Chains A and B, each alone.
Chain A
Amino acid sequence: MENVLEAKNVNVFYGDFQALKNINMKFKKNAVTALIGPSGCGKSTYLRLFNRMNDYIDSFNMQGDIMVENKNIYNKEIVVEELRKKIGMVFQKPNPFPKSIFENVAYGLKIQGVTNKAVLKNAVRKALQQAALWDEVKLDLDKSALALSGGQQQRLCIARTLAVEPSIILMDEPTSALDPIATAKVEELIRELKQKYTIIIVTHNMQQASRISDYTAFFYMGEMIEYNKTDTIFTNPQHERTQNYITGRFG
């Protein structure tokens, strides 16, 4: 399988504090890669590197290269807006826009200049179907997205991301605000999506990582300690720290 993403000698600083230390890592296409590790080890920071969401943090500073399809996305000539159409993101807390369900899903296309009603309608339906939300909301697409349940909102946020047709999806603890049933639905969804998408997911839930991911990387205090097939990480970790973490002895 080919690599679509690569981090080369990446160091990240917030002011004087070093949040990531010399990370080198390649991500496989159409696979789910889980990032695990104790709180504050730099998982979110790392994830946000790939769609340049750290750019908004004043004290943020990085060295090294992030390659997407063999292009360094921190090059000057990269247009961030274009990059983010290719690399979507789902956040920890569902964050729907205070608009209708339809408007939420259509937004990504509208800002690209798509105005054709039929095209938008089709795209919205397709995205909602992919996110396994269509049957629940097809009758009230005009209802406010804020009226949905937390789990529905998160699937709406996933649909909103899918509508733009990215090839890579970043997810930062997408189920941490959801109940077990909603979590199961989202996990199911992630397994489906990997047919078409490359997914990187941050999670604190070890069972979740082992259930849905193909590869797992363990981070500890800004360092990438171990990266391997998920099976290997969970059954035969090479490092004691990894072992301790996945068995719940710390973190």
Chain B
Amino acid sequence: MNNSQINRLKDKTFNYFGIFCTLIGLVILAFFIGSIFYDGLRRIDWDFLTSLPSRKAEKAGILTAWVGSIWIVIFTFIIVVPLGISAGIYLEEYAKKSRLSSLIEVNISNLAGVPSIIYGLLSLEIFVRLFGMGNSILAGSCTLALLVLPIVIVATREALKAVPHSIRAASYALGASKWQTVWEQVLPASFGGILTGVILAISRAVGETAPLIVIGALLYVPFTPSSPMDEFTVLPIQIFNWISRPQHEFTTNAAAAIILLLLITFIMNGVAVYFRNKWQKKINW
């Protein structure tokens, strides 16, 4: 074999190897989703959605879990949106470029990589004990807000950065202050990007389990929460709970709950993609 034949062979081999690697990921995912649906789909009905948890698998429902998840999502949203967007605006529009600001920048990126259980431990000490929030929805939301804060900050900064400088110049030249320029022009123009980041952050928060277990979210909650100070459980914890039971029937429940959780995250990601595309089309610089 001459040199070019060897190269061609290498090319071909790598091509097949690449296809093989891609397929592994896809096949495993498909298998996973398939088996979940096979186990769980028939379990999902109205009763399942509206029943309280129970010691008997056939009677157990996920009402408290999805209501808890919704509480958590809403409060996480309320906490993380003003904090994250304000921080992003400050860093991108106001902060002078200095040693300190680049130190902050690097650390925010680092924060995004901290294991979520560490956030749980931190929150246990600060929110649950020091601030006396107990293992409440509020404490859980604060924990998750902290966890996804870097995502929102980074997304906000990226979105602001994408607004061309000429827009700011035009606003200043008309006599607008910095605040007016940011508030009236830059923020609306970057709204799509920010929203996308927020949705992705929240969809990440929906699936988090470890930090909530650390701060003491309950495995068994026989009531739906009625205030942010109530104890709570969420979908992923309910799934964790059911899977750890020995009886096979509970595995079916877990599969059904996983389907719901997947559905929620897929929908949120879908909405995020939709907004991104819509805004990209509308604002074509």
A92 — nearest CB in chain B belongs to which residue? B166
A98 touches B176 (CB 8 A): no
A95 touches B176 (CB 8 A): no
A111 touches B174 (CB 8 A): yes
B166 touches A111 (CB 8 A): no
B174 touches A95 (CB 8 A): no
Binds B, one of A25-33, A83-91, A200-208: A83-91
> Hey, what's the 0/1 contact readout for B163-176 against A, CB within 8 Å counting as 1?
01011011111111
Give the most central of A56, A98, A108: most B CB within 10 Å: A98
B283 touches A146 (CB 8 A): yes
A84 touches B173 (CB 8 A): yes
B166 touches A93 (CB 8 A): yes
A residues near B10, Cβ cutoff 8 Å = none
Q: Is A160 an interface residue (CB 8 A)?
A: yes
B residues near A157, Cβ cutoff 8 Å = 170
A98-B189, A98-B282 are known contacts. Are A81 and B175 too (CB-CB below 8 A)?
yes
Partner of A84, one of B167, B172, B188: B172
Q: Is B47 an interface residue (CB 8 A)?
A: no
A107-B174, A108-B175 are known contacts. Are A97 and B283 too (CB-CB below 8 A)?
no
In the bound complex, CA of A51 to CA of B185 (Å): 20
In the bound complex, CA of A98 to CA of B283 (Å): 6
B residues near A82, Cβ cutoff 8 Å = 175
Q: Is B3 an interface residue (CB 8 A)?
A: no
Q: Is B2 an interface residue (CB 8 A)?
A: no
Q: Is B284 an interface residue (CB 8 A)?
A: yes
Q: Is B184 an interface residue (CB 8 A)?
A: yes
Q: Is A161 an interface residue (CB 8 A)?
A: yes
Minimum CB–CB distance from B56 to chain A (whole Å) comes to 58
In the bound complex, CA of A108 to CA of B184 (Å): 11
A residues near B170, Cβ cutoff 8 Å = 91, 95-97, 157, 160
Give the most central of B172, B188, B283: most A CB within 10 Å: B172
B169 touches A95 (CB 8 A): yes
A residues near B176, Cβ cutoff 8 Å = 81, 107-108, 111
Q: Is A114 an interface residue (CB 8 A)?
A: no
| B interface, size bucket | 20 to 34
A98-B282, A146-B284 are known contacts. Are A88 and B180 too (CB-CB below 8 A)?
no
B96 — nearest CB in chain A belongs to which residue? A58
B283 — nearest CB in chain A belongs to which residue? A98
Give the most central of B164, B171, B173, B284: most A CB within 10 Å: B173
Minimum CB–CB distance from B161 to chain A (whole Å) comes to 16
A81-B176, A84-B174, A111-B174 are known contacts. Are A97 and B166 too (CB-CB below 8 A)?
no
B184 touches A107 (CB 8 A): yes
* Majority secondary structure of chain B interface residues (helix, strand, loop or mixed): helix
B279 — nearest CB in chain A belongs to which residue? A98
A residues near B284, Cβ cutoff 8 Å = 146
B183 — nearest CB in chain A belongs to which residue? A111
A89 touches B189 (CB 8 A): no
Q: Is B177 an interface residue (CB 8 A)?
A: yes
Residues 105 to 123 of chain A near chain B (Cβ within 8 Å): 107-108, 110-112
A111 touches B175 (CB 8 A): yes
A residues near B185, Cβ cutoff 8 Å = 97
Minimum CB–CB distance from A209 to chain B (whole Å) comes to 23
A98-B282, A98-B283, A111-B184 are known contacts. Are A85 and B175 too (CB-CB below 8 A)?
yes
Q: Is A164 an interface residue (CB 8 A)?
A: yes
A112 — nearest CB in chain B belongs to which residue? B175
In the bound complex, CA of A92 to CA of B188 (Å): 24
A94 — nearest CB in chain B belongs to which residue? B166
B residues near A107, Cβ cutoff 8 Å = 171, 174, 176, 184
B residues near A84, Cβ cutoff 8 Å = 172-175
B residues near A78, Cβ cutoff 8 Å = none
A51 touches B166 (CB 8 A): no
A107-B184, A111-B184, A146-B283 are known contacts. Are A95 and B172 too (CB-CB below 8 A)?
no
Partner of B173, one of A51, A96, A146: A51
Q: Which 4 A-B pairs have the closest CB atoms?
A: A95-B166, A108-B174, A89-B173, A85-B175
Chain B residues within CB distance 8 Å of chain A: 97, 164, 166-167, 169-177, 180, 184-185, 188-189, 282-285
Q: 8 other contacts beyond A82-B175, A84-B175, A95-B167, with CB at 8 A cut-off? A: A88-B174, A97-B171, A98-B167, A107-B171, A111-B174, A112-B175, A161-B174, A164-B175
Name 17 interchain pairs, CB-CB below 8 A, sorted by A: A53-B173, A58-B97, A84-B172, A85-B174, A88-B173, A88-B174, A89-B173, A91-B169, A91-B173, A95-B167, A98-B188, A107-B174, A107-B184, A111-B174, A111-B180, A112-B175, A144-B282
